[in-house]
Amino acid sequence: MAQLNFKSELTGCFAQPCAENPSVAMVEAAYQHHNLDWRYINCEISPENLGDAVKGARAMGWAGFNCSLPHKVAVMDHLDGIGESASIIGAVNCTVRRDGKLIGENTDGKGFLDSLKELIDPAGKKIVMFGAGGAARAIGVEVALAGAAKVTIVNRSTRRGEELAQRLTDKTPVAAEFVALDGEFDVPADTDVVINSTSIGLFPDVQGKVPVNMDTVTSSMLVADVIPNPPQTRLLKEAKAKGCTTIDGLGMLVNQGVIGIKYWTGIDVDASIMRAKLESIFGAG
Ligand code: NDP
């Protein structure tokens, strides 16, 4: 993503994968809808070229860029500063040029939080979160900073789960605990929000089962999934059948895009345009 200055003396020419990139399509749809003369382009960067790529973005006057795995941690060494939550999360997925400096932010968790806040205020809520990878770290930090009372991290790998619980305890006010996965997890009855932030259920593993005992999930709980493809995961379908309100992974993906565009252009774009573009790619459910 970038603001490309077509008056510059260098015109890029590079081979790009032909398949439609959903993030590019989503952001470009917003630019077109709002008549923004901006471009969001996808460049494949190898780890050894990351430093040069960031220097190039600076030199070309890019307003910022998103970065995906495996660059989310390594990119921090090449930036001029890191935002508060990105610094606690320990990963950057979005950079923005501010006063000539390239600052690293993390919009994954913020995107999820915006989806959540459309339905409930996380302040004071008890949250059960499956997973302790990058998405879980970002979500855990943001719900903690938003005032959640308790986050229970349920994960397969003890090392990652304990590290995340410790990170939340050390760096945010939330009460965090780790529970190692052992069969299906029984959700405590006083839980307000259940989140799948593992990669279980991502296409093509659409029948993948999040290890939750659905008998312990009740209609008063809000159930969220980070998986964008398919939007209606097995978990969300089962939760809906129990009468739960649900949030799909498209909301998080759209909202992190809305936040990124606001950072780069200063403009609030219409999230529904972006969601419609993603639904045309992934299906609505
Ligand atoms: P990571 O690889 O960092 O973490 C994956 C997590 O899933 C780990 O906690 C891992 O457990 C757990 N996991 C994977 N397979 C299993 C399994 N079979 N059983 C139990 N646990 C399992 O990935 P990310 O955190 O970066 O991404 C996770 C998902 O979030 C992806 O599917 C991605 O598409 C989605 N995502 C969605 C976004 C959106 O905008 N909607 C944004 C970012 C990510 P363990 O630690 O034991 O390995």
Query: Are residue 115 and residue 233 in the same domain, yes or no?
Result: yes
Q: Are residues 158 and 232 in the same domain?
A: yes
**Comparing C-alpha atoms, which of 87, 210, 202 is closest to residue 156?**
210
Same domain, 102 and 119: no
Which listed residue (55, 72, 125, 209) is catalytic? 72
118 lies in the same domain as 92:
no
Residues in the chain: 285
Neighbours of 66 (CB within 10 A): 24
Encoded tokens for 66: 């998103």
Clarify whether residues 123 and 175 are in a common domain.
yes
Please indicate, yes or no, if residue 3 is contained in any of the structural domains: no
pLDDT in the model for residue 20: 76
Against a cut of 0.95, is the pTM above it?
A: no
Other CB atoms closer than 10 Å to residue 231's CB: what's the count?
20
Q: Is residue 102 located within the same domain as residue 114?
A: no
Is residue 121 within 8 A of residue 194, CB to CB? The reply is no
Q: Whose CA is nearest to atom 27 of ligand 1?
A: 135
Taking only the tens place, the pLDDT of each residue in 233-253 is: 999 999 999 999 999 999 999
Q: Does residue 2 fall inside a structural domain?
A: no
Tell whether 129 and 243 lie within a shared domain.
yes
- Where are the strands (E) in the chain, listed by range? 64-66, 81-82, 94-98, 101-105, 126-130, 150-155, 175-180, 193-196, 222-225, 245-247
CA-closest residue to ligand 1 atom 18: 200
Total number of domains in the chain: 2
CATH label of the domain that carries residue 268: 3.40.50.10860
Residue 136 sits in the same domain as residue 202: yes
The CATH number of the domain where 123 resides is what? 3.40.50.720
What average pLDDT does the segment 259-265 reach? 97
The two three-digit tokens of residue 147, written as one number: 């005032």
Structural domain containing residue 119: 110-247
Is the domain of 18 the same as that of 144? Answer: no
Same-domain pairing of 140 and 93: no
Same domain, 117 and 240: yes
- Per-residue pLDDT tens for 185-227? 999 999 999 999 999 999 999 999 999 999 999 999 999 999 9
Same-domain status, 150 and 95: no
How far, in Å, CA of 145 to CA of 148, rounded?
7
Report CA 31 to chain centroid distance, whole Å. Answer: 20
The question of whether 72 is a catalytic residue gets the answer yes
* Assigned domain for 1 exists: no
Supply the pLDDT for residue 7. 40
Q: How far is the CA of 136 from the centre of ligand 1 (A)?
A: 8
Q: What angle do CA 92, 141, 119 make, to 5 degrees?
A: 110
